[in-house]
Structures are given as structure tokens and as C-alpha cells.
A = this chain, B = another copy of it.
Amino acid sequence: MIARFEAVRDAVDAAIEAALADLPDGDLADAMRYACVGGKRIRAFLVLESARLHAVPDARAMPVAVAVELLHAYSLVHDDLPAMDDDDLRRGMPTCHIQWNEATAILAGDALQAQAFEMLADPAIGEAEIRVALLRRFAEAVGARGMVWGQACDIAAETAVVALDLAAVKALQQAKTGALIRFAATAGAVIAAADPAPLEDYARHLGLAFQIADDILDVTGDPAQTGKRTGKDARMGKATFVSLLGLDTARDKAAAIVGKAVDALNAYPGGEPVENLRQLARFIIHRQT
């Protein structure tokens, strides 16, 4: 899986570079490219492996993989803004508004979102019906019922009088990080016009495990490795899986959820893409970045 993961990362990096190649020169284009550097490309990997699982070649899935990564990059740029999470470090580099300024960061995020949607018009993906199906699912994953809604809840929770309970944190995270992960992991089935239900099940567990691991990393992680500030949730008094469950129980829970993600893929006959998706789920809770 490691070899495939690295090959995907390099191919996705190149495809992102190509997608952002022909923009008018200036801070806006520079900031957009900067915001896309250094991602782990987990979401792109989900798109490409769920596609392979349905015998869809990388060439058809790649524009969708790029769309997901551009969208993810936009969300990080806006989340890092002073008015939001106010972070100055991301992927080991100054955040976009530190490197440039707030206006450029807001606009770079806006343009990355538009560019992400534009990728879905690429005829390489397949029939127009498929591209429209992806468009609808993508927009739902992003907008006021998906990622952006999750982020709004997260911001609201910071100033709320009553801290969130476990069910609320789960719902919030299933929107904030889960919605885009679900889109990515089911994209292959949608491109192949196949039933996305088993992948949806896999992705729901994966997204949750991913977020619990993120909360754990915020407590145990080394900024030199994670490339972002740690210990922030505790300083902010934020309700997280770790603050609500304790570190050990959170770890146990993440491991159990990864087991469910792995099992969800039993719906498929097996093969390399299925095994890769299983390994990705296991990797999620052992990663240090």
C-alpha cells in the first residue's frame, strides 16, 4: 500500500500543479498554489482507490481527486483565518494569511472552491450524467449541510455556555471532516454508476476514526512532525473526543471504529484496492502528522 500511496501522492501533486498552471500571475495564484503544497492526499487516495475498486482507471478519477484536494485546501485556508481558528502554522509552513494577508487568504480560498467545482466538468471523468451526480454530491458535502455547517458549529461551540456532549461532537465532526471524506470514498462508485452504500459505510467509520486520531494528535503530537500547533483544543477548553472520553478510551474507540471501517469492505470480493483502503483505515490512527 505504501508504494501505491506514494505513487498516488506524486501523481495528485502533479495534477494539482497542472490544474493551477494557467492562472493570471499574482498573489492570488501564488497563494492558491501555496495552500495546496504538502497535503497527505488522503482524500485523493480515497477517490482513486474507490475508483480502482470499481475498475475505473486513474485518468477518469484524477479530476475528482484534484477537486477534493483543492476543496480541502480552501477549507484549511479559511479555517486558519484570525476570525476562525486563528492558526499561524499549517503543514510546517506559515498559514496563508501570515504568508500574504487576510484578503489574499480569503480570496485564495474562494478561488480554490470555484476551481474545485470546475474540475468536475472535466470530460475525462465520463458521461455528463456522472459529472452532474458528482456535482450534486460534492456541493452537498461542502455547503450549509456539510463541511461549512460543521465548521460553523465548531466555531459556535467555542463560545457556547454549555460544552458539547459526545453525540454533538460526533455530529459536528461527521459534517466538518466526515462529509468530504464520505464524498471522496464514494466517488469511485459514483463514477462507475455503482451502489456507493458499502463505501459510504466504510467512509463514515473512517471519518470518525480520523477525527478521533486528530484529537489525540492535538494532545500527543509533536509540532515538528504534525506541522501545526498542538495542545490547542485543551487551551481553548474545547470539547473533543479526548476531553470527553480520556486519552485511553479515545484510542480504544478509534481502534474499534477502524475495525468497523475494515469490515464494511467485506461487501467487496477483495483485491488490492480493497486491501489498500483497509490499510489506509489502520494508518489513520497510527499517523503522526
Task: Give A residues with C-beta under 8 Å from B.
Answer: 20, 23-24, 26-29, 32, 74, 78, 81, 83-84, 101-104, 106-107, 109-111, 113-115, 117-118, 120-121, 127-129, 131-133, 135-136, 138-140, 142-146, 148-149, 151-153, 155-156
Contact = CB atoms under 8 A, between A and B. Distances in A.
Task: Name the 7 nearest CB pairs between A and B, nearest first.
Answer: A118-B139, A114-B143, A83-B102, A128-B128, A121-B136, A111-B144, A28-B152
18 contacts: A24-B145, A24-B149, A26-B152, A27-B156, A29-B144, A32-B144, A83-B103, A107-B148, A111-B144, A111-B148, A113-B113, A114-B146, A114-B148, A115-B143, A115-B144, A117-B139, A118-B143, A127-B128
Nearest to A141: B114
Nearest to A130: B128
Given A32-B144, A144-B29, A156-B27, A121 B132 contact: yes
Contacts of A136: 118, 121
A130 to B, nearest CB: 8
Nearest to A116: B139
A20 to B, nearest CB: 8
A148 B111 CA distance: 6
A156 B24 CA distance: 14
A172 to B, nearest CB: 11
Contacts of A74: 110
Contacts of A110: 74, 78, 109-110, 113, 142, 148
